[in-house]
Amino acid sequence: MRMTVLASGSKGNSTVVATADTRILVDAGLSCRELRKRMAAAGEDPCALSAILITHEHQDHVAGLATMARRLRIPVYFTEPTHRAWVRMVTPRSTMTYAEWLAHVQREKELRAAQTAASECTTPHSQESVILSEVVPPSGTAQSKDPEGVHAASGDRTVLPEVKTTVTLNAAASDPDEDEIAETEPEAAKPDPSFLPAVQYFSAGAPFTIGDIAVTPFTIPHDAADPCGFVFESRTENIRMAVATDLGYVPPNVKAALRRMDVILLESNHDLEMLRDGPYPWSVKQRVLSRVGHLSNHAAAEFLSRDYDGGAQYIVLGHLSEQNNAPELAMMSAEQAVGNRMSLLGNRILLARQDAPLAPISL
Ligand SMILES: [Zn+2]
Ligand SMILES: [Zn+2]
């Protein structure tokens, strides 16, 4: 079994987890061309990929997803909320004036009321649409529906530009169901940006298999729709590898999931002092530091010294911030935490890179 980290960091994340029979691309956060280039450089054949597995919908994890899946004609595994969030994200937005927006909201209300009257059955979906129509402020965007404003402050997300007299509305935000979009938009002959050759849903906590790899997704605390980390297990080789990046802290379920690993890709995003004194606006600093932000060197070290069972051959530190971290700091912090358990056979610490793939880790 092997793990090849193709890229790790806020400009793009992607990792190949493979056995002799099965090859899974975990996230596709670089362009299709760059992913293929890096795979070739690392000795991985893109055409041999079995599936793409998505941790969450932030751009640095899905940038090349649609192109990659379509070119290779392989299935994409999401949780359902992550898939919906991704569909909303990639569906083109239309810009309208305030008056048009008001008329649109009114039409939508009337349509929903008529639909509800016509059929007794109200789906959660249409309820959501009505609520959305009512709460979206004229100067806001259909995506900014997080009351805490965490999403709007997200460094990973595309925050839509605000224009004083116009409203930017995601055409699909109030209704991400593809069938309905096709019905209501006659120009749907245009290529659908959310089209994928095949979509498979999974749920956190429910193991499933892709080829001969058993995958166990676990929930991670992060400001996305339904973010997950993964444990991969090769049944034939009895080897276990985990991917755990993009998490604000290490909750008990993640500590439990990361037991008995041979390889762990663990986030070590920022140095607390560098982040505090760094150039990010206060709102972004708050978001990174929050319980649904990113794991600091300190928090990663705390996990490694207190909770980690010490059994992995490799610990790969990933998602390092280029602004708020230094590779030496992340490395030093993890080395100190692992301490005397570090040896030639176990607990070797590697740094995943943003700009180049890491050599495959083969066990
Ligand atoms: Zn990320
Ligand atoms: Zn993220």
Report the separation in Å between the CA atom of 29 and the middle of ligand 2, taken as the mean of its atom positions: 11
Counting ligands in written order, the one closest to the CA of 60 is 1
pLDDT at position 137: 34
What gap in Å lies between CA 288 and CA 297, rounded to an integer?
A: 13
Amino acid at 323: Q
What is the secondary structure of 175-242 as a DSSP string? ---HHHHHHH-GGGGSPPTT--S-EEE--TT--EEETTEEEEEEE---SSSS-EEEEEEETTTTEEEE
Report the separation in Å between the CA atom of 84 and the middle of ligand 2, taken as the mean of its atom positions: 16
In sequence order, what are the residues at sequence separation of 6 or more whose Cβ sits closer than 8 angstroms to the Cβ of residue 224?
56, 57, 58, 82, 85, 156, 246
User: Could you tell me which of 344, 309, 252, 294 has the C-alpha nearest to residue 61?
Assistant: 294
Report the separation in Å between the CA atom of 143 and the middle of ligand 2, taken as the mean of its atom positions: 16
Report the separation in Å between the CA atom of 14 and the middle of ligand 2, taken as the mean of its atom positions: 12
Report the separation in Å between the CA atom of 62 and the middle of ligand 1, taken as the mean of its atom positions: 10
pLDDT at position 131: 30
Report the separation in Å between the CA atom of 105 and the middle of ligand 1, taken as the mean of its atom positions: 34
Report the separation in Å between the CA atom of 109 and the middle of ligand 1, taken as the mean of its atom positions: 36
What gap in Å lies between CA 28 and CA 6, rounded to an integer?
A: 10
What gap in Å lies between CA 33 and CA 60, rounded to an integer?
A: 15
Ranges of each domain in the chain:
2-85+197-362, 92-175
Strands 2-7 and 23-26: unpaired
Dihedral over alpha carbons 351, 352, 354, 358 (to 10 degrees)? 120
Counting ligands in written order, the one closest to the CA of 150 is 2
pLDDT at position 253: 98
Give the pLDDT confidence of 241-250 residue by residue, as tens digits: 999 999 999 9
Report whether CATH 2.40.50.140 matches the domain 2-85+197-362.
no
Strand-pair partners of 216 = 231
Spell out, as residue ranges, where the chain has pLDDT lower than 50.
119-188
Decide: 85 and 224 in contact? Cβ < 8 Å: yes
Report the separation in Å between the CA atom of 110 and the middle of ligand 1, taken as the mean of its atom positions: 40
Report the separation in Å between the CA atom of 361 and the middle of ligand 1, taken as the mean of its atom positions: 22
Give the pLDDT confidence of 306-362 residue by residue, as tens digits: 999 999 999 999 999 999 999 999 999 999 999 988 777 799 999 999 999 999 999
Within a 10 A sphere around the Cβ of 119, how many other Cβ atoms? 10
